[in-house]
Amino acid sequence: MSIVAANPPFVVTTEREARLRVLEWQAERQTVALVPTMGNLHAGHISLVEKVQQLADRVVCSIFVNPTQFGPGEDFEAYPRTLPEDERKLAGLGIDLVFAPTVKEIYPFGDERPVTVTVPGLTEDLCGASRPGHFTGVATVVCRLLNIIRPDFAVFGEKDYQQLLVLSRMVEDLRLPVEVIRAPIVRDADGLALSSRNRYLTAEQRLVAPTLNRTLWTLVEAIQAGRTDYAALEAEGWSALEAAGFRPDYLEIRTAADIKRPVVALPPEQLIVLAAAWLGETRLLDNVQVAD
Question: Which residues fall within 8 angstroms of residue 27, CB to CB, at 6 or more apart?
Answer: none
The catalytically annotated residue of 45, 58, 131, 169 is 45
Nearest CA to 49 out of 3, 13, 93 is that of 93
Query: 54, 47 in Cβ contact below 8 A?
Result: no
Q: Pick from 103, 100, 48: which is nearest to 77 by CA?
A: 103
DSSP-assigned states of every residue in 191-252: SPBP-GGGGGS-HHHHHHTTHHHHHHHHHHHHHHTT---HHHHHHHHHHHHHHHT-EEEEEE
User: Is 45 one of the catalytic residues?
Assistant: yes
Catalytic positions: 45
